Structure formats: C-alpha cells, structure tokens
C-alpha cells in the first residue's frame, strides 16, 4: 500500500511540475505618452522581459498597446524610436503591437486624412479601443504595465 501511495504521489508531483513549467506568462505594456523616453522604456522593458523568461526556459507573450500620444511610436512618419521599434520587433517573435483605432480616427480628423493614409508600423494590429483592449487583457489574466 505504501508503494502505491508513493507512486501516486510522485506521479502527481511530476505532473504538477510539468504543468508549472508549461505556464505562459502574458504581459501588456501600455504606451499612451508621446515621450520618446517612455517609448524607449516600453521597448526596452519588453525586450528585458523576453530575455528574462527565455533564460529561464519559460514562455512569454508580450503586447504593446498604443493609444493617445503613444500612437506616434507606431507612425512610420513620426516615430522618434522607429529604429528601436524595428530592432525589438525583429528580435521578439512573441511581441504583438496593437494600435488604438479611436486614436487613429482622431488623428485622421485632425490631419484631414483617412485612417488608411496614416502610416502605421508594418505588422501592427488595429484594435477598436486601446483602453478597452487593456481592460479585456487584464480580465483574461494578463499583467498590465504602464512605465
């Protein structure tokens, strides 16, 4: 009986250890400021998080959600951090860039353009509302960071 109990306990322990190692960390970085320093901080934090979990052999999904002034980071005609943005996105396949459509509509009106005429960084995903996206991600268990 002791051997059976020990075998079951070891099987459960091994199963729990495997499940803990399979956990995927999920973090979303908010960028809503038009500050080049904050934009750089967000990109550096994303790279650092990816490097940390990679070194531990763990998986991480990373999103950068841009709205308000942070959308300038994603504009290829205005981004003060375009080279860093390219570098980080090229090196992090687990990074998704999301851009607020509400902000894009405001920019389009202000600049007398169509949203489709605003040059956004290739591969960016347009979401209906950046703030709502962050709320939804939080409710799904994502960690939200606002540097």
pLDDT at 24: 96
The answer to whether the beta carbons of residues 99 and 71 sit under 8 Å apart is yes
The span from the CA of 108 to the CA of 111, in Å, is 5
Secondary-structure class of domain 26-145 per CATH: alpha beta
The span from the CA of 23 to the CA of 146, in Å, is 23
| Ordered per-residue pLDDT tens for the chain, 147 residues | 554 333 343 444 444 444 445 789 999 999 999 999 999 999 999 999 999 999 999 999 999 999 999 999 999 999 999 999 999 999 999 999 999 999 999 999 999 999 999 999 999 999 999 999 999 999 999 999 999
């Amino acid at each position: 009986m002791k051997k059976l109990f020990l075998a079951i306990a070891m099987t459960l322990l091994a199963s729990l250890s495997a499940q803990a190692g399979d956990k995927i960390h999920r973090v979303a970085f908010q960028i809503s400021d038009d500050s080049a320093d904050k934009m750089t901080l967000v990109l550096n934090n994303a790279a650092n998080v990816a490097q940390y979990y990679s070194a531990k052999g763990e998986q991480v999904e990373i999103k950068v959600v841009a709205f308000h002034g942070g959308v300038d980071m994603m504009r290829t005609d205005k981004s003060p951090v375009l080279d860093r943005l390219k570098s980080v996105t090229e090196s992090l396949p687990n990074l998704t860039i999301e851009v607020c459509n509400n902000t894009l509509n405001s920019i389009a009106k202000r600049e007398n353009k169509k949203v489709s005429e605003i040059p956004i960084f290739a591969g960016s995903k347009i979401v209906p509302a950046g703030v709502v996206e962050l709320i939804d991600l939080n409710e799904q268990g994502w960690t939200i960071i606002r540097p």
